[in-house]
Amino acid sequence: MAQEQAVKTVKIFDTTLRDGEQSPGNSMNIEEKLRIAKQLEKLNVDVIEAGFPIASEGDFEAVKRIAQTIRGPEIAGLCRSSDKDIDRAWEALQYAGEKGRIHTFIATSDIHMKYKLKMEPGRVLESAVKAVKRAASYTPNVEFSCEDAVRTRLPFLAEVVAAVIDAGATTVNIPDTVGYTIPFEYFDIIRYLKENVANIDKAVISVHCHNDLGLSVANSIAAVQAGAGQVECTINGIGERAGNCSLEEFVMILKTRRDILPFSTNVVTEQLTPASRLLSTITGIMVQPNKAIVGGNAFAHESGIHQHGMLMEKSTYEIMTPESVGLKTSSLVLGKHSGRHAFKKRLEELGYELDDEKLNKSFERFKNLADLKKEVFDEDLDAIMTEETMRNAEKYRLEHITVTCGSFAVATATVQMEIDGVSARTAELGDGPVDATLKAIKKLTKCTGKLQTYNVGSITGGTDAQGEVTVKVAEGDRTVTGRGSSTDIIEASAKAYINALNRLYALRETQALESGSL
Ligand code: KIV
Ligand code: ZN
C-alpha cells in the first residue's frame, strides 16, 4: 500500500512592505502600510517584514505602528550588521514583544565583499557573528541573511551559516539577491548546507528569490524541496528590479500540486485576490492581465472550445477555482438610498475601521458618487477609502475644474486649487482636455516633476463606471505614483496628478529633514 507522505508547513515571510516598497513607484505612507499589514494579517502570513527602521523616520514609524497594531504574524525589521542599525530596529520592533524579529544581513559573495564592502572574508564573518549576538541580546527571534548567497563560495557560505547559528540566529536566509540562480542549482545549494553545516537543524532555512530571470517562484519551490522551511515573497511579486517571488503564485502552487509537493502554508488563500487588489489600489500599479492567480484574465475562459469544456465539466480547463483565491464577481452593495449604517457595515466587512471624522468624510463622498452612479460596488468603496482615509495631510487639493473641448475647439481647462489652504485659479490651453488640465495644475503648483506615465482604466463595468487614472511623476531620483478616481475621467486625471504632486512634496520634505537641510 502506498504510504501517505507527511505534509510539511512552510512559513510565509512577506516582504511587500520592505523589499516591495523599496522598488520605484511602490512607496507608501504609514496609513497605507498599516492597511496592507492588516490585510497580511487576514491572509495569515507567518511573518510581516514591515520595513527597514534605520532607513528613514517614515520607515521607523511604520515598523513601530505595525509592531504596535498587528497581533497575529511575527513582525520583522531589516538592519545591516551594525550596532546602530540593530539598536534602531529593536527600538521599533520591541512593541511586538516576543513576535518581534530582528533581521540582520551582510553580503558574503567575493564580488560584494571586495567591491561593495571592501572587507576581507574574515572580517565579514566577524561582523555577522557580532551582529547576531547583539540582536540576540534583544530577542531570541533573530534572522540572518547572507546577501548574494547564491554567488558565495559554498564552503564560506557554510562557515558563515554555522557561525551565525552558534551566535543565536534562529532563521538563516540564503538569498538569490540578483535573481541569478536556476532551480536545480538552488536545490543543490540548500542541500549542500543541510549536509555540511553541523548545527543546521537548530535554525529554519529561509529563501529569498529575485525574479531577474523570471525564476523566483520556481527557485523557491526547488529550495523547499531541498529542505528550506521559510519562503520570502511579496504580494503581486513586487520588489527590487524584476521583483521578488510572488506570494500568490508560490502559495497556490503548493495548494494545487499537493499530489507531488508534500508542503502546505498557513495562508488563507481566499484573501489573495483582496490583497492583490488592495496593493494595486494603494500603489496605483496594476498587475498585468495575464499574471498567474491574480491577473484579470487568470480565470477568464474566452475561447469557444474552452467555454464548451467548462460548461460540461469545470475541471477540463480549471486547475483551481476562482473562489479558492477569493475572486468574486463584483457584488452590488450599496446605492443612493443606502444609509450611513449600511455604509459603515459594508466597510467593516471589507476590513476598514474608521473613526467618526473619516466615516463622515467618506460617507459624503459615497453619497456624491451614488448620485452619479446607480450601483456602488466594493471596488468603488476601495477607491473612496484609499482617497479619503489613507492620505496624509495634503499641500495641494483640487477645488473645481471646468473643461471645454471638442473636435473643433482648442481644449481649455480652468482649474481652481487650494495650495497650503489658499485658493488659486488659472486656465491653460492644451492638446486635449487632459493635457490642458495637467498644464494648469503644473502652472499653479510650479511643479518641476516630469510626467512619465499616464494610464486610465475603469473601476467596474458600465458607462457610468468610475474612471481610475494612475500617473507616474519623476523629479530627480524620486519617482512617485498618483491615483485618482471619479465618474469624470478629466477630474480623475487631475486628482491623480495632484496626488502624485502631494507625494512628491512629502518625499522631498522627509528627505530634506533627514539630510538636516530643514
Ligand atoms: O535580496 C536580498 O538579498 C535582500 C536581503 C536584504 C535579504 O533583500
Ligand atoms: Zn531582496
Give the 3-state secondary structure of 77-97: EEEECCHHHHHHHHHHHHHHH
Say how many Å lie between the CA of residue 179 and the centre of ligand 2.
9
Say how many Å lie between the CA of residue 208 and the centre of ligand 1.
7
Measured CA distances, 64 to 99, 100, 503 (Å): 13, 10, 21
Atom number of ligand 1 nearest to Cα 232? 7
Distance CA(176)–CA(65), nearest Å, equals: 30
Which residue's C-alpha comes closest to atom 4 of ligand 1?
A: 177
Determine how β-strand 411-419 pairs with β-strand 422-430.
Answer: antiparallel
Q: Does the pTM exceed 0.75? A: yes
Q: Which of 497, 358, 505 is nearest to 417 (CA)?
A: 497
Distance CA(454)–CA(501), nearest Å, equals: 14
Say how many Å lie between the CA of residue 159 and the centre of ligand 2.
22
Burial class (CB in 10 A: 0-12, 13-18, 19+), 251: buried
Query: For residues 58-87, b (16+ Cβ closer than 10 Å) or e, as one string?
Result: bbbbbbbbbbeebebbbbbbbbbbbeebbb
408-463 pLDDT, tens digit per residue, is: 889 999 999 999 999 999 999 999 999 999 999 999 999 988 998 898 888 777 78
Which residue's C-alpha comes closest to atom 3 of ligand 1?
A: 177
Say how many Å lie between the CA of residue 157 and the centre of ligand 1.
15
Query: For residues 441-453, b (16+ Cβ closer than 10 Å) or e, as one string?
Result: bbebbebebebee
Distance CA(28)–CA(59), nearest Å, equals: 10
Which residue's C-alpha comes closest to atom 8 of ligand 1?
A: 19
Pocket test for ligand 1, best of 177, 209, 230 (most atoms within 8 A of CB): 177
Angle between helices 57-69 and 489-514 (to 10 degrees): 110
Distance CA(482)–CA(503), nearest Å, equals: 8
Please, what is the Cα angle at 417 between 411 and 418, to 5 degrees? Answer: 175
Atom number of ligand 1 nearest to Cα 147? 3
Which residue's C-alpha comes closest to atom 5 of ligand 1?
A: 147
Which residue's C-alpha comes closest to atom 2 of ligand 1?
A: 177
Pocket test for ligand 1, best of 23, 47, 78, 244 (most atoms within 8 A of CB): 78
Say how many Å lie between the CA of residue 316 and the centre of ligand 2.
38
* For the CA of 107, the nearest ligand: 1
Say how many Å lie between the CA of residue 320 and the centre of ligand 2.
29
* For the CA of 180, the nearest ligand: 1
Residue with cell 457595515: 345
Contact predicate 49/81, CB 8 Å:
no
Say how many Å lie between the CA of residue 163 and the centre of ligand 1.
19
Lining residues, ligand 1, CB within 6 Å: 19, 105, 145, 147, 173, 175, 177, 208, 210
Q: Which of 488, 456, 449 is nearest to 470 (CA)?
A: 456
pLDDT at position 1 is 46
CATH architecture observed for domain 10-283: Alpha-Beta Barrel (3.20)
220-258 pLDDT, tens digit per residue, is: 999 999 999 999 999 999 999 999 999 999 999 999 999
pLDDT at position 253 is 98
Helix, coil or strand: residue 350: coil
Atom number of ligand 1 nearest to Cα 178? 1
Burial class (CB in 10 A: 0-12, 13-18, 19+), 488: middle
Give the 3-state secondary structure of 113-145: HHHHHCCCHHHHHHHHHHHHHHHHCCCCCEEEE
Q: According to CATH, what is the number of the domain 396-517?
A: 3.30.160.270
pLDDT at position 322 is 93
pLDDT at position 503 is 86
Distance CA(11)–CA(264), nearest Å, equals: 9
Pocket test for ligand 1, best of 78, 117, 145, 212 (most atoms within 8 A of CB): 145
Atom number of ligand 1 nearest to Cα 173? 7
Q: What letter does residue 513 receive in the DSSP assignment?
A: H
Measured CA distances, 309 to 108, 319, 471 (Å): 53, 13, 41
With a cut of 70, list the residues of the chain below it in pLDDT.
Answer: 1-4, 301-303, 329-332, 391-392, 513-518
Say how many Å lie between the CA of residue 244 and the centre of ligand 2.
7
What length is written for the chain?
Answer: 518
Say how many Å lie between the CA of residue 55 and the centre of ligand 1.
15
pLDDT at position 506 is 82
Cell of 167: 551566535
The domain locations on the chain are 10-283, 299-330, 332-390, 396-517
Four-residue CA torsion sign, 145, 151, 156, 157: positive
Say how many Å lie between the CA of residue 32 and the centre of ligand 1.
23
Distance CA(345)–CA(2), nearest Å, equals: 51
